[in-house]
Amino acid sequence: MHTSLKSKNIKKPSWLKVKFPTDPNYFNVSSLLKKKNLHTICESARCPNIGECWSQKTATFLILGDTCTRNCAFCSVKKGIPLPLDPDEPYRVAEAASLMGLRYVVITSVTRDDLSDGGASHFYETINAIRKKILRARVEVLIPDFKGKKECLMTVINTKPEVLNHNLEVPETLYSMINRPKENYRRSLKILKKAKEMGSVTKSGLMIGLGERKEDILQTFSDLRNIHCDLLTIGQYLQPTRHHARVRKYYSPVEFEQLRLIALDFGFEKVESGPLVRSSFRANMMYDSYIQNKT
């Protein structure tokens, strides 16, 4: 077992504490998602921003079911043998997004290694259903690696999502610690590189606090900029349960701001960096700011 799984718990600092949501919108969104039998990464990954986001009537939809075929040491999403795909799911996502009044829709998924295309065709159906339901909808997708299959990536990109996001999660040096083959880091970089070559605005995300060194973080910045990744999110890793990898360090808001400025110096167009930042944190604002800078 890696040392991070055996180390003592570190007391969570005050800046990571969030208030229980009381806004009526939060409960309305929760009720709607249950009614439509939909999953969100907000719930499945125990996102600390769920109160803020749902209170603002936005959420990140989790498609391909709620069960992942991989077993990453940091993730609280349910793992095991998934159910067959629900062909009606794309249309329920589109209906929920419309009822929530969304104009910027973020979609992610569990990893489905049991499917020949990794669920790429389901992404395709979901994005198209949203575009049919919501006039001028903008869509951001956070995709799995599809085992590196270019044809699966092309299936998603053919729907022309505004942003193609794929997370590296941690520096390459920590991949074995999070129960991922080290070669998957390079596979993920190739996914982002291919997406950029196909004309996508690309985005990736990092969790920190799992025992990485500063030079590991900087190397990851360099690797992403070498493939011209446009957008980056950096957030604090939080241990979901006692069975997951433990936090080795809590970074302060000042340290996150320093990393944001360093990342911008590397050439990223936009960087969101903070203790509670997650992959889809204020995604619409990040994209709007990116577009404004390009015009």
pTM here is 0.91
Segment 267-288 mean pLDDT: 92
Would the pLDDT of 55 be above 80? no
For residue 112, the model assigns a pLDDT of: 95
For residue 137, the model assigns a pLDDT of: 93
Q: What percent of the chain has pLDDT over 70?
A: 89
The pLDDT-based confidence of 3 (bands split at 50, 70, 90) is very low
Domains of the chain: which residue ranges?
20-161, 167-295
Asked if residues 216 and 174 have their Cβ atoms less than 8 Å apart, the reply is yes
The more confidently predicted of residues 85 and 281 is 85
Q: Does domain 167-295 have CATH number 3.40.50?
A: no
For residue 2, the model assigns a pLDDT of: 42
CA pair distance 160, 148, nearest whole angstrom: 19
Q: 170-195 pLDDT, tens per residue?
A: 999 999 989 888 999 999 999 999 99
Q: 102-148 pLDDT, tens per residue?
A: 899 999 999 999 999 999 999 999 999 999 999 999 999 999 999 99
Using alpha carbons, select from 255, 245, 261, 293 the residue that is nearest to residue 275: 255
The pLDDT-based confidence of 78 (bands split at 50, 70, 90) is confident
Q: 12-38 pLDDT, tens per residue?
A: 887 777 676 666 777 777 788 888 888
Query: Rounded to whole angstroms, what are the CA distances from 121 to 50, 63, 93, 187, 273?
Result: 28, 12, 15, 20, 32
